Structure 1
Amino acid sequence: MLYEERNIYNMEKKGGLKKSIIIIAASIAAVIAAVYFWGVWFYSTHFFFGTEIGSFNCSNMTVDEAKEQIKNDIENYGFTFYEKDDKTEVVTGKEIGLTAEIPDNLQELLQEQKPFLWLTSFKSRSLPLKTEAVFNRHTLYNRITQLDFAKKSNETVGDYTEKIYFENGQFRARDNGTSDVISINDVYSRAKAKIKDLYLGMSLEKEGCYKGINDDDTVKGVLNLANKFVASKITYNLGDETIILDSATIKDWVNIGENSSVKLNTDKIREYVDGLAKKYNTVGAERSFKTSGGSNITVGGGDYGWKINASKESDELCGLIWEGQQTEREPVYAQKALKSGKNDIGSTYVEISIASQHLWFYKDGTLVTETDIVTGDTTKRRSTPSGVYRLKYKDKNVVLKGEDYETPVTFWMPFNGGIGLHDATWRGRFGGSIYRGNGSHGCVNLPYSAAEKIFKSLSPGEPVVVY
């Protein structure tokens, strides 16, 4: 009997516990269901937790609340630049005249929400913002240049002329090992795009705006132009010689100054061309000359020979370097000789020996004629000047005039101002010492037949050698 009573008691006790568990479980389920259905009801009119529309936080807001929040955020809009070392700077919407319409798609975005899935929505989500900001872009650019990171970049670049050096045929900028240099254009273009979509900021580092000094827009422009100059290669053909002008010399002509200026030093270019002229001009230079008598003499003076037009050649050279040209050329000549090189007389020339009072005329190395002559009167200081001259022109039937004479000649061939070769039919003889006391006013008097032969074959520009 006692055993049965205990058994009944234990069964009743177990039944009560089971009933309690069921009641508790049912209560919890009811609470969960209530919370769930409350969430379904709540999120049928509110955006999910963690919802961002564009860059605006609309978490747990109704459409009207979201509109009001976005309106306030636009009115108080600020775009934050996140810099290195956790520094931030802000450009406000008011500073750049920013305005934007309140998006009209908020109700559509809410309706696309699935409220019954609200329990799975506890993570941030971004929805599209159907509006674009309007702002003054010029003001934005200027405002960016006023920010500390832009100023620091300018200080880092500093006087970049001190950082530019020449090595291995190129100009380069020596980086100081920092990455504080900012491309203002890159920052502006990225910020402009983000502000248009009303983003709230950007990281300069993540956007790749920090660069080395060689990537700075100003420095790049300077280096590109300077390196175009030194890429030039001008090969001068000067007679038998070849002169190569390249970066080794041109680098010293490149002037890099403030305000991104890159110029060519025209004074140094002219100095270089003057050096070429000094070395290769032959006008008036002393020449070794083999006389018809077989002796080697030195003749200097006169106006025959090569002469570089230094002014025009300097301008041409400057233009070629400015364009980065690589070319072969002759200099611009003011005057050319018949033959290249120092001994440029060639094989066609008139040879006049004052001491011998004799003339020889060679055409392409062949003697055409030779004759005795009468030159300027040495006793009256009318000596025919020595030197190597160009025949200026030829004329026939000319009257030669001076202070005390007026003489007609048939063949007139001037080579030194008013001094020239001509026939002298009034003379009965030539040569000897006539020129001492009965010489000419400086011209070279010739027999008619010799003057005629020379006149027919000698061309303007060909040399007349007087010694």
Structure 2
Amino acid sequence: MGKKLKITRKSKKIILGICVTAALALVVGLFSYIYVADHNTLGRKISVYGLDVSKLTVPKAEQKILKSFQNRKVVFQEDGAEVYETTLGNLGYSINADDLRSQLEDLRKKRAADRHLLATQEDYKIQYQLNKDENQEKSVLVSGNFGDKERTASVDAAVQYDEKQKKYVMVNETQGNMIDEARLKAYVDQTLDSVFQTDLLGDDVTVTMGTEVYQLPVSAQSEEMQNKLTNLNARLDTYRNMTVTYTFGSETEVLDGSTIDSWLKIDGENVSVDQNQAKAYVENLATNYNTIYVPRTFHTSYGSDVTVSDNEYGFQIDQEGELNQLLQDLETGTPVTRDPVYSIAGMQRNGRDDLAGSYIEVSLDNQHLWLYKDGALVTETDIVSGAPTPERETMRGAWPIAYKASPYTLTSDQYGYNTTVTYWMPFVYGQGLHDATWQSSFGGNRYKSGAGSHGCVNLPKDQAAIIYNAIDGGYPIIIY
């Protein structure tokens, strides 16, 4: 049998002392380790935005965070497939290093002041400042980097004229998939800003591309397009509801909206009046209502009709002036009633009748004169007209009385007379109506003898007074 080993009391004390010493050394070492870790590093069991930075000094933690952020992948997906991959660093994003260092140092001090023997895992969301190189981001976010798929441009909504409906209608927009680089950049920035709020240093960032990054067409519902549609149809209605009523005395002629509508030229969004058609209308108006410088057929007091070719009395429409006025009227859209623009205007008219019952009628063959006013006979009288020779005959035709004067001296170097008359009413080429007290009688064939005038129409003085007081300058006279 072996000998039984006996441990003396003294040995037990030595062993116990060694164990206590070792335990104390262990405790001291542990506390030393904890002190160093908690004071010189960020501490034990710590992460920032999920990134483990345990037992790292501030500079090392800073570098790890900066590198992790810049190397973080950004993956672009479109139609369920990956089309491009880059990093935050390539996109020009970076964390402000000075600010990060300051935040980490504050965090270190906070944890050092609040150290515990047994550490528990903690994740911190510290404040941060981001820097971004705009030019760098633009250089990466170019449409050519996002796959080689065939792309179609968006088509804006449009307003177009519908012939069947006779109005403008809206054609809706078409959304294409052509990338708008400015919208892409804004969408990427928005996406990343949202991610950074909670996940600054997490996994890959996925950017799902859709209509948010495509060229945006002008919408049919936009205020701009709705206003355009309203304004164009209102312009059409303005023309179609427009009327121009021309007055010719008591008679009128109406240019109505349906005729104006037929003149409209519609070229895309441009609505205008076809000036050639408006011009043709004015020309036709002039043809129908001009009464001067055309042979005049006149119904005489004897009941027969005569035609005079020298017709210098009446109305003439100023076609250029009328066209300009008409185009201005059409643009206002306000119905108007007015006379045409005349270059020459007679005294009055009723439709195509430019005498309207007020005129002087002279029959040279019968040596007789009638004065009518508003359809009523004012007076009639025999006359003495010019002698029937080429030099002295009274002109046949129609003219306005140029003016009237009382008294008036008639002179002629050619015929050697100087005579004052009481009533003078000239009509053409120095010829006129006047009293002739030197005539012993009027009418008959006296004008064919030496009693004939030099072209004037001689009147008894009382008849000259009646006529003079009844008319004004512009009064028509028809001599046949």
Question: Retained in 2: the 8 A contact 1:409–1:422?
Answer: no
- Return the alpha-carbon distance in structure 1 between the equivalents of residues 238 and 337 of structure 2: 14
TM-score by length of 2: 0.56
Q: Give how far 1:428 is off.
A: 2.7
SS at match of 1:426: coil
- Return the alpha-carbon distance in structure 2 between the equivalents of residues 372 and 102 of structure 1: 119
1:245 aligned residue:
256
Residues 210 and 405 (structure 1 numbering): CA distance in 2 closer, same or farther, change over 3 Å?
same
- Return the alpha-carbon distance in structure 1 between the equivalents of residues 392 and 134 of structure 2: 92
One-letter amino acid of the structure 2 residue matched with residue 385 of structure 1: M
- Return the alpha-carbon distance in structure 2 between the equivalents of residues 372 and 196 of structure 1: 106
Show structure 2 runs of 5+ residues with no match.
1-44, 53-62, 84-90, 107-119, 124-128, 136-142, 144-150, 192-206
1:345 aligns with 2:361: no
SS at match of 2:243: strand
1:273 aligned residue:
282
443, 448, 451: which one aligns with 2:461: 448
Question: Retained in 1: the 8 A contact 2:94–2:130?
Answer: no
Cα RMSD of the aligned pairs, angstroms, is 5.6
Aligned counterparts, 1:351-362, within 5 A:
351-362=361-372
419, 440, 446: which one aligns with 1:428: 440
- Return the alpha-carbon distance in structure 2 between the equivalents of residues 407 and 234 of structure 1: 58
- Return the alpha-carbon distance in structure 1 between the equivalents of residues 96 and 424 of structure 2: 99
1:231 aligned residue:
238
1:416 aligned residue:
428
- Return the alpha-carbon distance in structure 2 between the equivalents of residues 406 and 203 of structure 1: 102
1:305 aligned residue:
314
- Return the alpha-carbon distance in structure 2 between the equivalents of residues 436 and 99 of structure 1: 116
Residues 368 and 103 (structure 1 numbering): CA distance in 2 closer, same or farther, change over 3 Å?
farther
1:393 aligns with 2:403: yes
- Return the alpha-carbon distance in structure 1 between the equivalents of residues 260 and 456 of structure 2: 48
Q: Give how far 1:248 is off.
A: 3.9
1:209 aligned residue:
217
- Return the alpha-carbon distance in structure 2 between the equivalents of residues 437 and 132 of structure 1: 117
Question: Retained in 1: the 8 A contact 2:66–2:95?
Answer: no
- Return the alpha-carbon distance in structure 1 between the equivalents of residues 349 and 321 of structure 2: 22
Question: Retained in 1: the 8 A contact 2:263–2:278?
Answer: no
2:385 aligned residue:
375
Q: Deviations over 1:325-345 (max 9, x none)?
A: 443333223314423212231
Residues 348 and 417 (structure 1 numbering): CA distance in 2 closer, same or farther, change over 3 Å?
same
Residues 209 and 153 (structure 1 numbering): CA distance in 2 closer, same or farther, change over 3 Å?
closer
Residues 299 and 412 (structure 1 numbering): CA distance in 2 closer, same or farther, change over 3 Å?
same
- Return the alpha-carbon distance in structure 1 between the equivalents of residues 391 and 378 of structure 2: 32
> What percent identity do the matched residue pairs reach?
25
One-letter amino acid of the structure 2 residue matched with residue 203 of structure 1: T
Residues 427 and 324 (structure 1 numbering): CA distance in 2 closer, same or farther, change over 3 Å?
same
Q: Deviations over 1:260-311 (max 9, x none)?
A: 8765443443232121111122334566655333x14244552333332222
- Return the alpha-carbon distance in structure 2 between the equivalents of residues 169 and 356 of structure 1: 64
Q: Deviations over 1:20-56 (max 9, x none)?
A: xxxxxxxxxxxxxxxxxxxx94354559xxxxxxxxx
Q: Give how far 1:356 is off.
A: 0.9
One-letter amino acid of the structure 1 residue matched with residue 435 of structure 2: D
SS at match of 1:318: helix
How many equivalent residue pairs?
Answer: 361
SS at match of 2:280: helix
1:319 aligned residue:
328
2:342 aligned residue:
333
Question: Retained in 2: the 8 A contact 1:376–1:442?
Answer: yes
Question: Retained in 1: the 8 A contact 2:315–2:346?
Answer: yes
Residues 262 and 366 (structure 1 numbering): CA distance in 2 closer, same or farther, change over 3 Å?
closer
Residues 430 and 370 (structure 1 numbering): CA distance in 2 closer, same or farther, change over 3 Å?
same
Per residue, is there more helix in 1 or in 2? 1
Question: Retained in 2: the 8 A contact 1:231–1:247?
Answer: no
SS at match of 1:380: coil
Aligned counterparts, 1:37-436, within 5 A:
41-44=46-49, 46=51, 64=66, 68=70, 166-167=163-164, 169-170=166-167, 191=183, 194=186, 203=211, 209=217, 228=235, 231-232=238-239, 233-239=242-248, 240-252=251-263, 254=265, 256=267, 264-284=273-293, 289-293=298-302, 295-301=303-309, 302-334=311-343, 335-380=345-390, 382-396=392-406, 397-401=408-412, 403-410=414-421, 411-436=423-448
- Return the alpha-carbon distance in structure 1 between the equivalents of residues 389 and 267 of structure 2: 63
Question: Retained in 2: the 8 A contact 1:230–1:247?
Answer: no
Question: Retained in 2: the 8 A contact 1:237–1:243?
Answer: yes
SS at match of 1:42: strand
Question: Retained in 2: the 8 A contact 1:281–1:305?
Answer: yes
Question: Retained in 1: the 8 A contact 2:360–2:476?
Answer: yes
Question: Retained in 1: the 8 A contact 2:313–2:399?
Answer: yes
Q: Deviations over 1:413-439 (max 9, x none)?
A: 122343321223333332222333553
- Return the alpha-carbon distance in structure 2 between the equivalents of residues 181 and 390 of structure 1: 73
SS at match of 2:464: helix
- Return the alpha-carbon distance in structure 2 between the equivalents of residues 179 and 230 of structure 1: 26
Residues 364 and 322 (structure 1 numbering): CA distance in 2 closer, same or farther, change over 3 Å?
closer
One-letter amino acid of the structure 2 residue matched with residue 462 of structure 1: Y
1:33 aligned residue:
none
SS at match of 1:231: helix
Q: Which has the larger radius of gyration?
A: 2
SS at match of 2:394: coil
TM-score by length of 1: 0.57
Question: Retained in 2: the 8 A contact 1:288–1:296?
Answer: no
Question: Retained in 1: the 8 A contact 2:317–2:342?
Answer: yes
- Return the alpha-carbon distance in structure 1 between the equivalents of residues 264 and 289 of structure 2: 22
Question: Retained in 2: the 8 A contact 1:169–1:230?
Answer: no
Q: Deviations over 1:154-209 (max 9, x none)?
A: 9x99xx9xx86645554679x7xx95599x9xx89x94994796679762798862
One-letter amino acid of the structure 2 residue matched with residue 391 of structure 1: I
Question: Retained in 2: the 8 A contact 1:421–1:444?
Answer: yes
